[in-house]
């Protein structure tokens, strides 16, 4: 082998890159990945950007560990979201990386986040989506009522993306904010969580009710502010996921970084609580990994319509409904705990297309937790199942809108995402029973 030589380069800025697409999706979390894959499958050229260096957003990097909102409530739950989302569940099941448990009068699916990242990557590659990671938006260029292009910076240089339609799946309405669109926020703080995983756990793990009862009594003695949450063991893995803290998530770089650094103290105190109060299960446990700061609600677009809490409680089905959810109102509005509002068995929340489409930009649509909804209403639809359904609807609207989402016929979108409105496959109870018998 010829020994390579060292050569010197003339210092110069990294070269820029221009990308042209039919659809530009910003945010590679659950909603954005679903939107990108579904849009590509519809024949559109798709560019997917995310500020993180890894795909998956909070669903991978936040160690959430649970898919919520995929199933209806009641004693015979059925699946609510299909398309790519259904294929993802099937692939995780094939990899033995999915389990189920009862929760909130429904089913939640527990997943292995490393396998989920691999599944996301597999489907993105198969769909032919152009993915650009580590891309932080610097500016958005717009005309009177349309976005023309956005500029992002990466460690490899600037990237300019021109597209016909933009899907804001950033969680924080980043595209809308840079475009100068109208925005909305809750008038009270909404708290986030730093999830963490522990290993070296003894068996059996105490029931959640027992852990939370003890926490409620003794949290202050350990310097913990939150008095509820959960600790659950992942079947088949020597891992417990822990969710026992709350902190504010401001949209400010310095303040949010400080919150993330402070969270480690909460995590250490939470582990000490578990080890001292339940030594048989957690006395020898150690932290395996800590997720990125988890954010629930920050800032959203002002849409052509607002999803109201009253509509969630009534189960009102809007004429332009494009997705459904059966998750309760789960509002993290205080340091101490969570406000849960259980909805009746069989209840569905219907998500209108018009709460996703920006009111003052004709080619911008939101998907995920930055749609236009009252705070309690958003708390019922911001979980992964309905976020993926919103991503699919955004892709359909992008296909039909041809750059003018205000002119889209909702019925045509509904025809494309019909499974997410009416299909009701029973939950795979035989598979779930097999999972439980194995573990």
pLDDT at 10 over 90: no
Pairing of strands 157-168, 147-154: antiparallel
Q: Does the structure show a pLDDT above 50 at 438?
A: no
pLDDT of 429 > 90? The answer is no
Average pLDDT over residues 170-177: 98
Query: Pick from 103, 89, 75, 65: which is nearest to 431 by CA?
Result: 89
Q: Measure Cα distances from 31 to 85, 315, 323 in Å.
A: 10, 23, 12
> Is it the case that residue 435 has pLDDT exceeding 60?
no
The whole-number pLDDT of residue 439 equals 39
- Is domain 191-290 given the CATH code 3.30.70 in the classification? yes
- pLDDT, average across residues 322-332: 97
Lookup result for tokens 């290993």: 199
- Please give the structure tokens belonging to residue 373: 């909804």
Exposure string over 199-227, b if 16+ CB within 10 A, otherwise e: eebeeebbeeeebbeebeeebeebebbbb
Length reported for the chain = 439
Whether pLDDT at 431 is above 70: no
Picking from 391, 324, 413, the residue whose alpha carbon sits closest to that of residue 171 is 391
Residue 67 neighbours by CB under 8 Å, 6+ apart: 89, 108, 109, 110, 111, 383, 384, 385
Burial class of residue 334, CB neighbours in 10 A (0-12, 13-18, 19+): middle
Strands (E), 28-145: 46-50, 66-67, 98-103, 106-111, 130-133, 136-142
How do residues 80-102 score in pLDDT, each as one tens digit? 999 999 999 999 999 999 999 88
Phi, psi of 168, rounded to the nearest 5 degrees: -95, 100
d(CA 168, CA 243): 28
Global pTM reads 0.95
Centroid of chain to Cα 282: 29
Query: Are 356 and 303 within 8 A, CB to CB?
Result: yes
Residue 390, SS3?
helix
Whole-angstrom CA distances from 90 to 53, 58, 68, 258, 387 are 26, 21, 16, 39, 18
Ranges assigned E (strand) in 69-173: 98-103, 106-111, 130-133, 136-142, 147-154, 157-168
Q: Is the pLDDT score of 432 beyond 80?
A: no
Nearest to 27 by CA among 147, 136, 177: 136
Domain ranges of the chain: 18-186+296-331+348-439, 191-290
Q: Give percent above pLDDT 70 in the chain.
A: 97
> What's residue 313's pLDDT?
97
Q: Is 78's pLDDT higher than 90?
A: yes
Tokens read off for 35: 């939107």
pLDDT digits (tens, 9 = 90+) for 21-71: 999 999 999 999 999 999 999 999 999 999 999 999 999 999 999 999 999
Predicted confidence (pLDDT) at residue 287 exceeds the cutoff of 90: yes
pLDDT attached to residue 46: 98
Out of 3.30.470.10, 3.10.20.30, 3.40.50.2000, 3.50.50.60, the CATH code matching 18-186+296-331+348-439 is 3.50.50.60
Burial class (CB in 10 A: 0-12, 13-18, 19+), 420: buried
Mean pLDDT in the chain? 94
Q: Is 280 in contact with 206 (CB distance < 8 Å)?
A: no
* Closest C-alpha to 372, from 86, 233, 263, 361: 361
> How far is 108 from 232, CA to CA, in rounded Å?
12
Per residue in 185-244, pLDDT tens? 999 999 999 999 999 999 888 998 999 999 999 999 999 999 999 898 887 778 899 999
**Res. 436: pLDDT tops 60:** no
């Amino acid at each position: 082998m010829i020994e390579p030589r060292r050569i010197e380069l003339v210092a110069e800025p990294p070269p820029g890159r221009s990308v042209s697409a039919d659809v530009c999706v910003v945010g590679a979390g659950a909603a954005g990945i679903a939107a990108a894959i579904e849009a590509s499958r519809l024949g559109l050229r798709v560019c997917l950007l995310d500020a993180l260096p890894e795909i998956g957003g909070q669903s991978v990097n936040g160690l959430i560990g649970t898919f919520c909102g995929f199933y209806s409530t009641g004693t015979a739950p059925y699946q609510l979201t299909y398309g790519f989302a259904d294929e993802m569940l099937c692939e995780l099941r094939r990899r033995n990386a999915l389990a189920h448990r009862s929760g909130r009068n429904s089913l939640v699916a527990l997943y292995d986040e490393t396998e989920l990242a691999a599944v996301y990557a597999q489907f993105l590659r198969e769909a032919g989506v152009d993915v650009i990671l580590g891309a932080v938006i610097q500016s958005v260029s717009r005309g009177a009522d349309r976005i023309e292009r956005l500029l992002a910076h990466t460690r490899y240089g600037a990237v300019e993306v021109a597209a016909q339609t933009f899907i804001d799946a950033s969680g924080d309405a980043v595209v809308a904010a840079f475009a100068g669109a109208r925005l909305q926020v809750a008038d009270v703080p909404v708290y986030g969580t730093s999830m963490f995983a522990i290993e070296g756990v003894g068996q059996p793990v105490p029931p959640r009710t027992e852990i939370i009862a003890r926490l409620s009594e003794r949290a202050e003695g350990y310097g913990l502010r939150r008095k509820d949450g959960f600790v659950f063991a992942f079947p088949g893995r020597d891992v417990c996921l822990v969710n026992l803290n709350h902190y504010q998530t401001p949209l400010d770089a310095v303040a949010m970084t400080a919150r993330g650094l402070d969270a480690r103290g909460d995590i250490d105190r939470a582990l000490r609580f578990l080890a001292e109060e339940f030594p048989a299960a957690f006395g020898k446990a150690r932290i395996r990994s800590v997720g990125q700061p988890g954010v629930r609600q920050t800032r959203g677009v002002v849409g052509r319509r607002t999803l109201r809490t009253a509509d969630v409680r009534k189960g009102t089905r809007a004429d332009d409904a494009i997705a459904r959810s059966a998750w309760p109102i789960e509002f993290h509005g205080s340091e101490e705990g969570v406000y849960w509002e259980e909805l009746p068995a069989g209840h569905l929340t219907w998500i209108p297309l018009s709460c996703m489409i920006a009111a003052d930009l004709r080619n911008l649509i939101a998907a995920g937790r930055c749609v236009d909804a009252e705070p309690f209403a958003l708390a019922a639809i911001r979980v992964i199942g309905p976020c993926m359904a919103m991503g699919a609807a955004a892709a359909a609207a992008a296909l039909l809108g041809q750059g003018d989402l205000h002119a889209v016929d909702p019925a045509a979108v509904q025809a494309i995402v019909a499974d997410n409105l009416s299909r009701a496959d029973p939950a795979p109870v035989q598979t779930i029973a097999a999972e439980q018998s194995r573990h």
